Each structure stands twice: as structure tokens, then as C-alpha cells.
């Protein structure tokens, strides 16, 4: 079995580490208990959005942010490596038309109409940066329960980008032909890939346009052929069109996942889904193999290098027990609360006890054991598995995953050489 | 200011007040009922949902047991649509005194309960998750009762007999003329507008809050709020209500309620009935207690925790040091005319959900005497709206409806199988203000996801239909998220901890609720 590297977890961090290792010539196997985290998320690449005040220049403001956050995973990486990982991602994801810069946040509408800072977005969302204002026609699909254009537009019209520019928004609802019970994201993407359905939608939107110079739609513009659907709709409507993220299952997330999986396969790597890592075998301070449960039996997968990118409590990489104990499930690595309080706060929108939970690592991103030293010399952690971040409130998740996944691959690659 | 004239002003829209409204309306009296919040948001909406057979009180409080047994029978006839006929078991666990079981059986029979000892093997066959070490088992007529459905049916029934019901109307002043109460002034909590109601008789049915209402009238009611903690578990761990056969104590009842099981409860005196915070210690006490009835209870997924305040009325001269379980669970009608020389005011204190009908009957008997009119009580036989078919509900009802008559609109809550049509029906019936009110009517947000997916849908749809303005939709959503957090923050472990992470990602990461305009 000649696997050089095993990566646990098929989310952003795991895929980045796997792709970087594979690009450097390693044979790579990615294992995920479920289907990986990417189909949940809207495929926007956050780097740093709130500290807690709005961040306009993520890379420029990173050092200032970290002064008050000694436990933050960005402490592990140089700003240069954050930038390098984003540049690499932009290049890798060129087929999805990713655009943006880590030196300038974009302000994109959420499904509720908040203006949310993020860094890189796919081409299908690119026109939705309202930093300099704009006039948006928000288009809802009648009966689609996960997108409510009127509320979105009314909130959006109250947004104040720091530029002082005005945001205007108006909502319309259009009907798609067919059964309203089919208005689920995973079915909508397929229907909009039908030329006739798209043409009817485009005509309907065009007829409802007034002075708006932009058109925002729910993020269901096709799956395999999202470029053609998005481009086609823009032509039909005669205005730039952008997607607004909807709750899971996220279609832009699916697109990004398929793209990253394919890229890895092209480099000779493999992704195995539905494979739960349940244990390991070690020799001294070297990890020799992980034990994986697939099809109800346990198999041992040996490798030279291992990356732990199973995420935190939200994805099952870490579990919380009734007595407050926190456990990293595969290796029993040391888990920290990352400076969050022990007791829950009454106010929901505050730092809660489980918000920063993750594994503790040494300077080389190696998870620590009970004794305080690195568990294994050939195991590195990356992404949401790391303690100390509040990715959703800070809008920092993908940036952390990219930078630490990128670095984990470099450290593992260095160890290889 | 709006002014209304009515025969009976009922303060409190829980089970007691709703029962009084229904009873009064059937006797031909004009009723106005007010509550400071939505209906059944206090104690009635915050208990375990047990329709008592009487077994719990059989040994210790035979009077209460007799009342429960009789009222249980009546409610099954008149309110079937609000009841699931789960049946109940009292079991002697290895920690329970077997001699108590003999006393229990004798006392239960004496109280008029239908009770039957069943072989342990039979009980274990019927309830495979029950502790295999139980030594005796008794089958009783416990049930599971949907308090929101029940209160809603009582109020709809009263409204059909010309009653006026006013949610979100808080009493700010009790109108007195000398030693006579003549009505009250309410403030609409949504608009700030005041309503003045002149009444022939005022009924203080505010339960654990009745001391506060009585003080507004210038008299004292010694109601002592007793906090009880409940935990909902993500599965039905039993078919029947499971009770420990021992003197009532904490965490000794598990009630199957719709898609979940509820374990309860504790009993701690609290100064403020609105103090319903639950501590991690109280939750652990419940989980450990559950383990004794159902081994493996610890590993089950806890969905939510909450507490309610019982309206306990210690008997005059009762020793102040006695624990709350020493206080009778029976009820008392206080005629303030006879008691305090203050005519026109009646307080109904104590009691419990199962005996709500009897409480109402006893109260309205006094009211009728005072008003000098009103007919005989009819609630023993008058069937409540929705219960005409006399069919109990069962867990498969919603699934069956969805399969036999599929709605042509999408589900908005997958956990509890709620369609947009259901939502529209409920908001058309009564204009609601908060998402939490819709939750009580439809169970939206009560399943495993605790509102992560459906709260946004409901807020968006109600905004779209013009029932919410923009700011109202935002604050309704914020408030709902905050309210749900209250019930999950002390049970953040296992699968539910994972779920709270997903919900947090949706609200903060995806929607950025924190940075939404007001």
C-alpha cells in the first residue's frame, strides 16, 4: 500500500492540504466520515470580516486583530502564507471564476439582506459586491421556502456600506412552471439547466426590471453548467446577475466540492467518502496507520504523513460529553476551549463555551497529547479542527482552512524531503 | 382608551383561565379573558404534558388522586383531540420500597382509579427499554395531553359563545370602587394602548402570578411558585407514561409527548414565577434519574430543557419549613368578599392541569352565586371544538395526513411535518405576534434542529404575507433564536451540541443575523 499521505476530512482544509501534497508529487488519500463540509457552505472565501468592527483589509488588519487573540489559529501562519494560499486558490479555482483580493473585503448580501464581508467569491456571485452601493432587483421564486426576497430587499435597502454609497433594493417574485413542491435547491439547479426554463425565467425578470442595474437571485443557477446558466441569465436579463447564498444544501458549495475532488483526482489522489476514522496504530512517536470503518468493517490504512482536518464539534471531529469533557475522536488529541468561557452566557450573540473549541497544536501545527508535547511527529492539524477561532462571527473560516491546510501540506512535504 | 363591559373578566390565559372562560361562556355569561402574553405561555405550556391517572398522589394526597381519576375520565370524553392515550405504568425499581407498592395499589383502588398489577415480564415486553430489574408493575390510565391544543380549544369554544380573548394584554390597574372590584385596565404589550374592562366579577386565574394580580387589587394571596425542570429527549423511549412507584420525588416521570419523551421534574420554591432558568446541575439530576427507569437514558439525545412555576397554595397554618411536596396539589377558590371584605374578586389558586375543568367549575359556581345569574355547569359533557369525533390523537397523525392527502405546498418544518398551509391556517385563526406563539400552535422549531431551518422560513413567509413588517420580522427572528438558546445552552453535548453548531453557523455565518439592521 503505497500511500504517502492520508488526510482525514474532506472540507476546505482537508482538500487544500491534499491538493498541495498531491501537487508536490505525493500519493494522497482523503477520508471523510460523511460527504465533507463543502456542500454546506456557500463557497465564499472569508478571511477576516469582523474584529469585532468591520474589517475592510483582511491581510492588513490581521496583525492588529491577533494582538487581542493569542489563541487564534492565524497566529500559526505568517500573513504572507495567508496571501500565498489565497493566490493559489484563485488560480486553482479559475474555472469557477473566483475573484477578489485578501487586501479588500467585498460586501455581499446575505439571505436576510445583511451586507456581509467576505474575500473571494465565484463568478456567479461577483456582481453582488455592494461596497460602492448599487441598485438591486432581488428576485424570489414563488414558493421557494428558503429565500424570501421582500424581507431581503427591505433589509438590504437599509445597509450602509462604509463608502457612504447608497444601496437600493426592490423585490419581485416570479413563478417557475411546474410543481411547487419541487422548489428545493438540489432540484432547482437541474431545472434551471433546462434551456426553456431559464429562458422563461429570464424573460419574466426582464419584464419586471425598472431602474435597477443589478439582479440578485437565490444561489441555484445550475450545478454542472453553472457558468452557462449564469451567463445565459445575464444575457436574457441584460444586467449583471449574482447569486445570494441559501441554507444547506448549498449549490455553490457542491460546485466547489466537485471542482476540488476532480482536481485531486487529476493529480492522482483519491477521496473516499463514508469512511470514518476510528483509531490508529503508532510506533513510538510515529503514526503508522489509521483504522477506518467502511462498509461495517475496520481496515487499516498505512501512510507516511497524516493530516487531521476533521473540523470541530459541528462536524463531529470533536465531541462534547454531558460532563463538559471534550474529546478529539480519532487520536485523543488535547482539546482546548480557546479562551472561551466555561459557562454559557444568556445572550446568544456572545462568545459561548463551545465557540472556540478545537485541538491544541505546537508551532508546527502538530496536535498535542496529554503530556504537552506533539502526539506524533507525522500528524498535522488544519482548519476548523484548530482551537481558538470563531469563524462564523469573525467571518474567518475559509481563510484559516486555506492558510493552515496550505501550511500543513508544506510541513508534511518538508518532512517528506 | 377602549372600554368594554363584561360579566366576567378572567385574568390569566393558562389552562385555569381558559377553563373558567369556557365554563362561564357555557353558562350564558359574557366573558373577557386577558393574558400578559400569548395563551398557555406560563405554567400550562411549561409542564411535562402528563394527564394524571391519580397514581402519583394516591398514597400521599388521596383527595387529589380522586379528583385526577375522575377528571381524567371526563377529559377523555370531552377533549379527546388534545389527548394521546398512552396509558401509564408505575414500576418499582430496585431502589423503591416494595411495601409502598402494596399501599399504592390499595390507595389507587380507594381513589377510584382503574389500576391493575401486571407481571414484570408483560411490562418489559410492552416497554422493552424499561429497567429489566423492576420488581412490580401497575398499569394505570395516564395519558399525554397537549396543553397548547387544550387551551386553544377551550378558548375557541368560549369565543364561539361570544367570549372576547385578548392576548398580550397585561393588567396595569385593578379598578376599585370602595370595597368593590369593578374591572381592570390592561395595556396591550404590542401597541401600548390601554383597554378598560368593567366586569360584574373579576376572576384572578393568574396561577403562579396570582399573588402579583391580587396585590394590584390591594389584597394578598399566598401563592408560592415552585419551579419544576423538564428535559425533552429526542425519541419516544416508551409507549406509556413511566412512573416510579414510590413517594413522589424528582425526575421520576417520563412522558411520551409527540415525537419526544419528557422527563420531569424538580420542585424548588422560587420568589419570582418568571425565574425559569435551569442550571446544569438540575439537568444532570434529571438525566441521572432517567437512567433508573430507562437504562441508557444518559446516552439519549437531549433536545431542550425548560422549567415552569407551579402555583402552590400552602394551607393556612401549614408549617413554613415543609418542602413543597408537602403542599396539597388540590385547589382552593378564594372569595375575597368573604375573606378580605373585597367584593367582586375571586381567586382560583393551586391545582394542576389535569383538574382544570373541576377548578373552573368550582370557581364559576362562586361567580354565578355572586352575579346572581348563570346556569348549571355543562363542561362535564360538552365536547370541545376539534374533539367532536372523540378520537384521541396519535403520533402518526401528521404523517398519515401527509401521505393520504399530500399538501400541494412545501413543508416548512421537516422535523414536525408542518406545511405552509398549516402555518396559514394558524395565523388566520388568531393574529400572532411572535414566532414562539406559532411554535406553540404548530410545534415549529421544537424538533431536533430547534428552529435552525424553519425559523427563517416562517419569518420570511409572514413578512411576505404582510403579517410582519420588516423590523418586526427581524426582531421576531432574533427573539426566537434567543428563546431557543435558553433551552439548549445547558444541554450542549453529544448530537445536540453538534446541532447547535450548525444552527449557529446558519444564523451567524450564513445570514449574519448579528449585523442585520434593527
What does the pLDDT look like over A265-286, one tens digit per residue? 999 999 999 999 999 999 999 9
Q: What is the pLDDT of residue B317?
A: 34
Judged by a CB distance cut-off of 8 A, whether residue B497 touches chain A is yes
C-alpha angle B398-B404-B410 in degrees, rounded to nearest 5 = 65
Interface test with A, best of B494, B501, B507 (most A CBs within 10 A): B501
Ramachandran bin of B183, using left for φ above 0, alpha for ψ from -120 to 50, beta for the remaining angles: left
Residue B315 lies in a domain: no
In the predicted structure, residue B325 carries a pLDDT above the cut 80: no
The C-alpha cell at A151 is: 424581507
Whole-angstrom distance, CA of residue B503 vs CA of residue A186: 20
**Closest-CA distance of chain B to residue A195, Å:** 25
B500 touches A: beta carbon within 8 Å:
yes
Residue A117 and residue A228 in one domain: yes
Q: Edge to edge, what strands does the sheet with A305-308 contain? A: A270-272, A28-31, A5-8, A305-308, A379-381
CB contact under 8 Å between B498 and A143, yes or no, is no
Chain B closest-CA separation from residue A267 CA (Å)? 32
Q: Which triple of cell numbers denotes residue B167?
A: 392576548
A230 and A136 within one domain: yes
User: Does residue B340 carry a pLDDT above 90?
Assistant: yes
Within a domain: residue B53?
Answer: no
Which residues from chain B sit within 8 angstroms of residue A147, using beta carbons?
Answer: 460
Which ipTM did the prediction report? 0.96
> A392 and B502 in contact by Cβ < 8 A?
no
Residues B343 and B487 in one domain: no
Distances (CA, A) of B359 to B31, B183, B329, B366, B490: 17, 22, 12, 11, 35
Hey, are the CB atoms on B513 and A143 less than 8 Å from each other? no
Strands of B205-272, DSSP E: 224-233, 241-244, 253-257, 260-264, 268-269
B259: domain CATH number is: 3.30.9.10
Of B485, B497, B509, the CB nearest to A348: B485
Same domain, B212 and B239: no
Contacts of A156 by beta carbon, 8 Å cutoff, 6+ apart: A109, A113, A115, A130, A136, A138, A167, A169
Distance CA A172, CA A154 (A): 12
Q: Å from B481 to nearest chain A CA? A: 8
Q: Are residues B244 and B333 in the same domain?
A: no
**Domain presence at residue B435:** yes
- Give A-chain residues touching B450 at CB under 8 angstroms: none
Q: Do B463 and A148 touch (CB under 8 A)?
A: yes
Closest partner CB to B512 (pick from A114, A312, A391): A114
Q: How many domains does chain A have?
A: 2
Tell me, yes or no, whether B204 and B266 share the same domain: no
Residue B381 covered by a domain:
no
Q: Please report which confidence band the pLDDT of residue A416 belongs to, taking 50, 70 and 90 as the band edges.
A: low
CB contact under 8 A, B486 and A346: yes
Question: Which residues pair with residue B213 across a beta bridge?
Answer: none
User: In this complex, do A110 and B511 lie within 8 Å of one another by their Cβ atoms?
Assistant: yes
Question: Is residue B70 included in any domain, yes or no?
Answer: no
Inside any domain, residue A400: no
- Using a CB-CB distance cutoff of 8 angstroms, which residues of chain B are in contact with residue A50? 515
d(CA B68, CA B60) in angstroms, rounded, equals: 13
Judged against a pLDDT cut of 60, whether residue B318 lies above it is answered with no
Shortest alpha-carbon distance between residue B518 and chain A (Å) = 9
Residues B162 and B298 in one domain: no
Nearest to B464 among A150, A159, A245 (CB): A150
- At residue A417 the predicted structure's pLDDT band, cuts being 50, 70 and 90, is very low
Query: Which pLDDT belongs to residue B78?
Result: 98
Q: Looking at the structure, tell me whether residues A235 and A336 fall in a common domain.
A: no
Question: 10 Å Cβ neighbour count for B340?
Answer: 17
Collect all residues of chain A within an 8 Å Cβ-Cβ radius of residue B494.
319-322
Name residues whose C-beta falls within 8 Å of residue A297's C-beta, 6 or more positions apart in sequence: none
User: Searching chain B, which residue's CA lies closest to the CA of residue A182?
Assistant: B410
CB atoms within 10 A of CB A293: 15
**What does DSSP assign to residue B50?**
E
Domain assignment present for B64: no
Pairwise CB contact (< 8 Å): A155 & B511: no
Q: What is the mean pLDDT of chain A?
A: 95
Give DSSP secondary structure letters for B213-229: HHHHHT-----EEEEEE
A152 part of a folded domain: yes
Q: From A313, which residue of chain B is nearest by alpha-carbon distance? A: B498
Whether residue B505 sits in one domain with residue B426: yes
| Cis amide bond preceding A249, omega within 30 | yes
Tell me: pLDDT of B319 over 60: no
pLDDT over 80 at A120, yes or no = yes
Based on the fold, state whether residues B134 and B186 are members of the same structural domain: no
- Whether A231 and A331 map to the same domain: the answer is no
- Chain B, 56 to 95: residues with Cβ < 8 Å from chain A are none
> B353 with B455, same domain?
no
Mutation to test the A interface, candidates B405, B410, B422, most A Cβ within 10 Å: B410
Q: Note whether A110 and A187 are same-domain residues.
A: yes
Residue A244 lies in a domain: yes
Average pLDDT, chain B: 93
A162 is a domain residue:
yes
Q: Read off the pLDDT band of B321 (50, 70, 90).
A: very low
What pLDDT score does B326 carry? 55
Q: Which domain holds residue B159?
A: 2-43+148-223+326-371
Query: For helices A397-416 and A12-23, what crossing angle results, to 10°?
Result: 30
What's the number of domains chain B is made of? 3
Per-residue confidence (pLDDT) for residue A322, from 0 to 100: 85
pLDDT band at B410 (very low <50, low <70, confident <90, very high): confident
Same domain for B302 and B243, yes or no, is yes
Degrees to nearest 5, angle at CA B459 with B458 and B461 = 65
A154 interaction partners in chain B (CB closer than 8 Å): 470
Q: Which of A155, A180, A349 sits opposite B517 (nearest CB)?
A: A155
Instruction: Give the residue among A380, A382, A319 at the shortest CA–CA distance from A354.
Output: A319
Distance from CA of B150 to the nearest CA of A (A): 30
Residue B328 pLDDT exceeds 80:
no
Nearest to A348 among B473, B481, B497 (CB): B481
Evaluate whether residue B283 is within a structural domain: yes
CB-CB under 8 Å, A395 with B509: yes
Judge whether B284 lies within some domain: yes
Residue B350's nearest CA partner among B306, B305, B318, B375 is B318
Query: Does residue A254 lie in a domain region?
Result: no
User: Does the structure show a pLDDT above 90 at A18?
Assistant: yes
Same domain? B100 vs B230: yes
Q: Output the pLDDT for position B322.
A: 40
Across the interface, of A112, A143, A247, the residue whose CB is closest to B516 is A112
B508:A40 CB<8 A:
no
Instruction: Among A42, A43, A112, A354, pick the best mutation site for testing chain B contact (most B Cβ within 10 A).
Output: A112
Report the candidate in A143, A221, A216 with the shortest Cα–Cα distance to residue A175. A143
A242 and A285, same domain (yes or no): no
Taking the C-alpha atoms of residue A297 and residue A304, their distance in angstroms, rounded to an integer, is: 23
Do residues A208 and A292 both lie within one domain?
no
Residues of chain A with pLDDT > 70: what percent? 99
* pLDDT at residue B430 greater than cutoff 80: no
Residues above pLDDT 70, as percent of chain B = 97
CB contact under 8 A, A349 and B493: no
Partners of B516 on chain A (C-beta within 8 Å) are 112-114, 155
Question: Hey, which residues 344-403 in chain B have their CB within 8 Å of chain A?
Answer: none
Which of the four pLDDT bands, split at 50, 70 and 90, describes residue B402?
confident
Q: How many CB pairs under 8 A join A and B?
A: 130
Residues B137 and B188 grouped into a single domain? no
Residue ranges of alpha helices (H) inside A93-175 are 149-156
pLDDT tens figures, B45-101: 999 999 999 999 999 999 999 999 999 999 999 999 999 999 999 999 999 999 999
Indicate yes or no: CB of A110 within 8 angstroms of CB of B485: no
Nearest to A149 by CA among A128, A130, A127, A172: A172
Q: Measured between CB atoms, does B298 come within 8 Å of chain A? A: yes
> CA B391, CA B85: separation in Å to the nearest integer?
10
In a domain, A217, yes or no: yes
Range of the domain at A333: 281-300+326-379
The reply to whether A258 falls in a domain is no
Which of A255-269, B276-290, B352-366 shows the lowest per-residue confidence on average (mean pLDDT)? B276-290
Picking from A314, A355, A397, the nearest residue to B498 by CB comes out as A314
Residue A17 covered by a domain: no
pLDDT value for A177 = 79
Same domain? For B187 and B229 the reply is no
Amino acid at each position: 500500500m503505497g500511500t504517502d499521505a492520508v488526510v482525514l476530512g474532506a472540507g476546505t482544509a482537508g482538500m487544500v492540504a491534499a491538493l498541495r501534497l498531491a501537487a508536490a508529487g505525493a500519493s494522497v488519500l482523503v477520508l471523510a466520515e460523511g460527504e465533507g463540509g463543502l456542500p454546506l457552505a456557500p463557497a465564499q472565501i472569508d478571511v477576516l470580516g469582523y474584529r469585532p468592527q468591520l474589517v475592510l483589509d483582511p491581510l492588513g488588519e490581521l496583525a492588529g486583530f491577533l494582538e487581542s487573540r493569542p489563541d487564534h489559529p492565524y497566529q500559526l501562519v505568517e500573513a504572507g502564507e495567508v496571501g500565498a494560499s489565497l493566490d493559489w486558490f484563485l488560480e486553482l479555482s479559475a474555472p469557477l471564476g473566483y475573484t477578489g483580493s485578501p487586501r479588500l473585503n467585498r460586501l455581499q448580501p446575505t439571505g436576510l439582506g445583511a451586507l456581509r464581508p467576505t474575500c473571494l467569491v465565484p463568478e456567479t456571485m461577483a456582481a453582488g459586491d455592494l461596497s460602492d452601493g448599487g441598485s438591486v432587483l432581488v428576485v424570489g421564486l414563488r414558493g421557494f421556502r428558503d429565500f424570501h426576497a421582500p424581507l431581503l430587499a427591505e433589509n438590504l435597502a437599509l445597509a450602509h456600506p462604509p463608502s457612504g454609497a447608497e444601496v437600493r433594493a426592490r423585490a419581485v417574485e416570479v413563478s417557475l412552471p411546474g410543481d411547487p413542491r419541487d422548489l428545493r435547491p438540489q432540484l432547482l439547479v437541474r431545472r434551471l439547466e433546462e434551456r426553456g426554463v431559464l429562458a422563461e425565467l429570464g424573460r419574466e425578470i426582464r419584464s419586471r426590471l425598472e431602474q435597477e442595474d443589478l439582479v440578485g437571485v437565490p444561489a441555484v443557477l445550475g450545478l454542472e453548467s453553472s457558468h452557462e446558466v449564469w451567463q445565459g441569465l445575464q444575457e436574457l436579463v441584460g444586467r449583471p446577475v449574482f447569486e445570494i447564498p441559501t441554507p444547506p444544501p448549498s449549490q455553490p458549495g457542491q460546485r466547489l466540492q466537485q471542482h476540488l475532488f476532480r482536481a485531486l483526482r487529476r493529480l492522482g489522489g483519491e477521496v473516499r467518502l463514508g469512511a470514518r476514522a476510528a483509531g490508529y496504530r503508532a510506533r513510538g512517536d510515529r503514526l503508522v496507520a489509521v483504522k477506518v470503518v467502511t462498509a461495517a468493517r475496520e481496515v487499516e490504512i498505512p501512510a507516511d504523513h497524516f493530516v487531521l482536518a476533521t473540523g470541530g464539534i459541528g462536524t463531529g471531529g470533536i465531541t462534547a460529553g454531558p460532563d463538559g469533557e471534550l474529546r478529539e475522536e480519532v487520536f485523543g488529541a488535547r482539546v482546548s476551549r480557546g479562551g472561551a468561557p466555561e459557562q454559557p452566557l444568556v445572550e446568544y450573540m456572545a462568545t459561548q463555551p463551545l465557540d472556540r473549541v478545537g485541538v491544541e497544536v505546537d508551532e508546527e501545527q502538530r496536535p498535542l497529547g496529554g503530556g504537552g508535547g506533539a502526539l506524533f511527529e507525522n500528524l498535522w492539524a488544519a482548519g476548523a479542527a484548530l482551537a481558538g477561532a470563531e469563524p462564523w462571527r469573525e467571518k474567518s473560516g475559509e481563510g484559516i482552512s486555506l492558510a493552515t491546510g496550505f501550511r500543513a501540506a508544506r510541513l508534511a512535504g518538508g518532512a517528506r524531503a | 382608551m377602549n372600554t368594554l363591559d363584561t360579566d366576567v373578566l378572567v385574568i390569566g390565559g393558562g389552562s385555569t383561565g381558559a377553563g373558567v372562560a369556557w365554563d362561564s361562556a357555557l353558562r350564558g355569561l359574557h366573558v373577557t379573558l386577558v393574558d400578559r402574553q400569548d395563551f398557555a405561555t406560563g405554567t400550562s405550556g411549561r409542564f411535562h404534558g402528563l394527564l394524571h391517572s391519580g397514581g402519583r398522589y394516591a398514597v400521599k394526597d388521596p383527595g387529589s388522586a380522586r379528583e385526577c381519576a375522575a377528571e381524567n375520565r371526563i377529559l377523555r370524553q370531552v377533549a379527546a383531540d388534545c389527548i394521546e392515550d398512552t396509558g401509564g405504568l408505575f414500576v418499582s425499581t430496585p431502589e423503591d420500597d416494595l411495601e409502598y407498592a402494596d399501599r399504592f395499589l390499595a390507595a389507587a383502588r380507594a381513589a377510584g382509579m382503574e389500576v391493575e398489577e401486571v407481571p414484570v415480564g408483560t411490562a418489559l415486553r410492552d416497554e422493552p427499554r424499561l429497567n429489566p430489574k423492576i420488581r412490580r408493575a401497575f398499569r394505570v390510565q395516564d395519558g399525554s395531553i397537549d396543553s397548547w391544543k387544550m387551551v386553544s380549544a377551550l378558548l375557541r369554544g368560549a369565543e364561539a359563545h361570544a367570549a372576547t380573548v385578548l392576548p398580550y394584554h397585561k393588567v396595569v390597574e385593578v379598578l376599585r370602587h370602595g370595597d368593590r372590584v369593578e374591572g381592570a385596565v390592561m395595556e396591550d404589550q404590542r401597541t401600548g394602548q390601554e383597554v378598560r374592562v368593567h366586569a360584574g366579577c373579576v376572576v384572578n386565574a393568574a396561577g403562579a402570578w396570582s399573588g402579583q394580580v391580587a396585590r394590584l387589587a390591594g389584597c394578598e394571596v399566598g401563592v408560592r411558585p415552585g419551579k419544576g425542570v423538564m428535559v425533552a429527549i429526542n425519541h419516544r423511549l416508551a409507549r406509556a407514561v413511566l412512573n416510579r412507584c414510590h413517594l413522589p420525588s424528582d425526575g421520576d416521570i417520563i412522558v411520551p409527548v409527540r415525537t419526544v419523551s419528557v422527563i420531569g421534574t424538580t420542585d424548588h420554591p422560587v420568589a419570582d414565577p418568571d425565574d425559569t432558568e435551569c442550571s446544569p446541575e438540575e439537568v444532570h439530576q434529571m438525566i441521572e434519574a432517567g437512567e433508573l427507569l430507562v437504562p441508557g437514558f444518559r446516552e439519549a439525545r437531549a433536545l431542550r430543557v425548560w422549567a415552569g412555576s407551579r402555583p402552590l397554595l400552602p394551607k393556612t397554618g401549614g408549617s413554613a419549613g415543609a418542602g413543597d411536596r408537602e403542599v396539597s396539589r388540590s385547589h382552593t377558590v378564594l372569595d375575597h368578599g368573604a375573606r378580605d371584605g373585597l367584593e367582586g374578586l375571586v381567586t382560583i389558586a393551586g391545582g394542576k392541569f389535569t383538574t382544570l375543568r373541576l377548578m373552573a367549575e368550582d370557581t364559576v359556581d362562586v361567580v354565578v352565586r355572586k352575579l346572581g345569574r348563570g346556569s348549571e355547569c355543562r363542561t362535564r359533557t360538552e365536547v370541545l371544538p376539534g374533539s367532536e369525533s372523540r378520537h384521541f390523537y396519535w403520533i402518526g397523525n401528521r404523517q398519515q395526513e401527509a401521505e393520504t392527502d399530500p399538501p400541494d405546498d412545501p413543508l416548512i418544518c421537516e422535523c414536525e411535518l408542518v406545511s405552509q398551509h398549516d402555518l396559514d391556517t394558524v395565523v388566520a385563526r388568531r393574529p400572532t405576534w411572535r414566532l414562539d406563539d406559532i411554535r406553540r400552535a404548530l410545534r415549529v422549531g421544537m424538533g431536533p434542529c430547534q428552529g435552525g431551518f424553519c425559523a427563517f422560513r416562517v419569518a420570511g413567509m409572514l413578512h411576505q404575507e404582510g403579517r410582519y413588517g420588516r423590523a418586526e420580522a427581524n426582531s421576531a427572528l432574533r427573539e426566537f433564536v434567543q428563546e431557543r438558546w435558553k433551552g439548549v445552552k445547558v444541554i450542549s453535548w453529544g448530537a445536540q451540541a453538534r446541532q447547535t453548531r450548525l444552527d449557529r453557523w446558519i444564523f451567524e455565518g450564513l445570514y449574519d443575523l448579528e449585523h442585520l439592521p434593527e
